[in-house]
Amino acid sequence: MQRRELFSSLFSSKEKREPQQQFIRPPYFKDESSFHNMCQECDGKCSTVCEENIIRIHKDKTPYLDLSSNGCTFCDACAKECPFEVLTLEEKKDINAIFEIDMLKCLSWNTTMCFSCKNPCLSHAIEFLGMFRPSIKFDLCTGCGFCVGVCPTQAIHYTKL
């Protein structure tokens, strides 16, 4: 197989694959399958009571978190409002996401003083080396997401655990 054929086969197989959605769910659920089983009967009440307006309803009627402009205060309102107990207070936990700082985009990693991500962090999980080079302490991070939307260079990204 020549190099051109190899690259052609790689690109053509990617186009045929269905993109898989990786939703970050509200932090009150026990089992991912319960979203698909129970939320079909609901009209998205959890999204209407969210103080921070971060719960969105996907076209399959399941809730997910959009942390692009705000974060989760863990206020419990969505769990209290859930009529089918997909979200319950007994299952409250950290948000199932891992956050990373892109050093190439981050102002502080590029010698510009910026504490945009540190100040809104509710759990004090963002630590700076002196006044530069921030890092996320994963053992303290709750996944609230308040750091994401405030970053002026969109240097903080998150992925589902």
Q: What is the pLDDT of residues 118-132, one digit of tens each?
A: 999 989 999 999 899
108 shares a domain with 50: no
Report strand pairing: 55-57 vs 63-65.
Answer: antiparallel
Structural tokens at position 55? 């719960």
- 134 touches 117 (CB < 8 A): yes
- Tell me what pLDDT residue 12 has: 47
The pTM assigned to this predicted structure is: 0.82
106 shares a domain with 83: no
- The string of pLDDT tens digits covering residues 17-28 is 333 457 899 999
DSSP, collapsed to helix, strand or coil, labels residue 102 as coil
Domain residues for 65? Answer: 21-91
CATH number at residue 35: 3.30.70.20
136 shares a domain with 116: yes
Count up the domains in the chain and report the number. 2
Q: Give the residue from 67, 91, 115 where a domain finishes.
A: 91
DSSP, collapsed to helix, strand or coil, labels residue 148 as helix
